Structure 1
Amino acid sequence: MKTDSTDDPRTDVQTASDPCQTNRDHVEYVGMHVDDRPVVLNLTEHERLAPDRSLDLIRQSRPGFEWGDTGSGSAQLACGLLLDYTDDEAVASQHYIQFRDDVVSQLECSGPANCWHLTGDDIEAALASVTGHEALTPDGGTPTPSLPVNWSAVNRSERTVFQRRDIDHYVVLGEGTEEWLLLLCAQGDRAYPAPLDIRTVPIEEDPAPAVRELVAESNDLVEPEENA
């Protein structure tokens, strides 16, 4: 069904009386559904934000953008917004999950134009928050602020591994097609680590909370040494 131009939300969002009016001093994005399809605009650049560039970086949702939940479409939009706003692939790939959870999941279409909008100030505030949370990534065995002091991340070429310093406990994080696979295992006197707990997390979700849960489980099983 074709949409008459007088009823098109893209006409409404650019009127002087509308709350989604472009602020010329700041970047502003607006989103709405047109003919049941999600449309996201960069009003400052007078351009439609397409998912193509973000899909080259993070392929969470082939159909494209969505918002208002923590699904794959919202993850793709979070990546697209950060990539467009910062023009920095490292920032977008590292922080899009947290940005989805904190910001994109809360977006909803409202007001006379039935749209949502984000300003550059909104994105800057969100980035200031998410960059304060250090991602769980291999770092050569140095302590990781988001883990207890007796744990550190270690380098492995084929997977992410977190190692306990006081005993031979490990958390191994593997990325599958649809799920993260997390194993808490113990080496001890065995030739191969024995699994103590196994968990899976949907691939679109941040695995960091599950890693921290398994780390806490290890520390509950065997109390950390005082000097760890």
Structure 2
Amino acid sequence: MKTDLTDGPRTEVQTESDPCPTNRDHVEYVGMRVGDRAVVLNLTEHERLAPDRSLDLIRQSLSGFEWGDTGSGSAQLACELLLDYYDDEAVASQHYIQFCDDVVSQLECTGPANCWHLTGNDIEAALADCNEHHALTPDGGIPSSSLPANWSVVNRTDRTVFQRRDIDHYVVLGEGSTEWLIVLCAQGDRAYPAPLDHRTLPVGTTPAPAVQELVTESNNLVEPEEEA
């Protein structure tokens, strides 16, 4: 996705069913490196973004933001950008993984100022693409009452992810030609996720029970944080 600043009119992506409406005027974010630190600014509000708010929602990276890859720092920045722009925790938690893959992983510091730019138009266009994806999921692609409260479902173009909300565990559901592959992963500070366990099932079998088993296994490995 191109993230260059444009002067075109604001893209209208809101519909009656759109979960991400916004009435904000033109918004621009900029990212740069100051020494060895990744710094992200909301130029419109003259504010520096900090991960504090997004850490209350998902704890991918305690060390701060990153971009240009799909690691934990980029996921934390994706969540923070969506929270800052939409001011909606449900939107951020549902879409930050896809937004990280599609947008934040592609950001790079270029030009005379050695920085990247991201506009509100870019964010809305990316979320519109997310909303058009309808990946196969056991529960129809919406949060399932059969999952514990600390888990939610995220639709992606090529697979389904069940994301744990309190730590960086997730279950990836992939459909092959003859079988389901269902993997429990943990990201942590690693560049690539580490598989913790997996299940394989014939394609004609519902994967929901296997997903439940791995979700329970994760919650048994690391107990969910108690709500204050």
Task: Report the TM-score when normalising by structure 1.
Answer: 0.58
| Cα distance between partner residues in 1 of 2:163 and 2:29 | 35
1:34-82 deviations in whole A, cap 9, x for unaligned? 0110000000001101111111111110011100000000000000000
Tell me, which stretches of 5 or more residues in structure 1 are unaligned?
1-18, 147-152, 161-172, 185-195, 223-228
Query: In the superposition, relative to structure 1, how do residues 155 and 90 fare at CA in structure 2: closer, same or farther (>3 Å)?
Result: closer
Aligned residue runs from structure 1 range 131-210, under 5 A: 131-134=131-134, 139=139, 144=140, 155-156=145-146, 158=148, 179-180=169-170, 199-203=183-187
**Superposition map of 1:31-46 within 5 A:** 31-46=31-46
- Percent identity, aligned pairs only, is 63
Q: 1:120 to 1:33 in 2, by over 3 A?
A: same
Aligned residue number for residue 91 of structure 2: 91
Contact 1:20 1:116 in 2 (8 A): no
> Rg larger in 1 or in 2?
1
Greater relative CO, 1 or 2 (CA 8 Å, sep 6+): 2
* Residue in structure 2 matched with residue 218 of structure 1 by the alignment: 202
What CA RMSD, in Å, does the superposition of the two structures yield over aligned residues?
4.2
- Judge conservation of contact 1:28–1:43 (CA < 8 Å) in 2: yes
Residue pair 1:78, 1:97 contacting (<8 A) in 2 also: yes
Between the aligned partners of 2:72 and 2:47, the Cα distance in structure 1 is: 23
The answer on whether the counterparts of 2:163 and 2:171 sit within 8 Å (CA) in structure 1 is yes
TM superposition outliers: structure 1 runs of 4+ over 6 Å: 19-23, 135-138
Gaps of at least 5 residues in structure 2 are: 9-24, 152-161, 175-179, 207-228
Q: TM-score with structure 2 length normalisation?
A: 0.58
What CA distance in whole angstroms lies between the structure 1 residues aligned with 2:163 and 2:112?
A: 46
Contact map agreement 1:22 1:43 (CA 8 A) in 2: no
Q: 2:112 aligns to what?
A: 112
Q: Which amino acid in structure 1 is aligned with residue 108 of structure 2?
A: E
CA spacing shift, 1:137–1:82, aligned 2, 3 Å: farther
Q: Number of aligned pairs?
A: 165
How far the C-alpha of 1:26 sits from its partner, in A, is 1.2
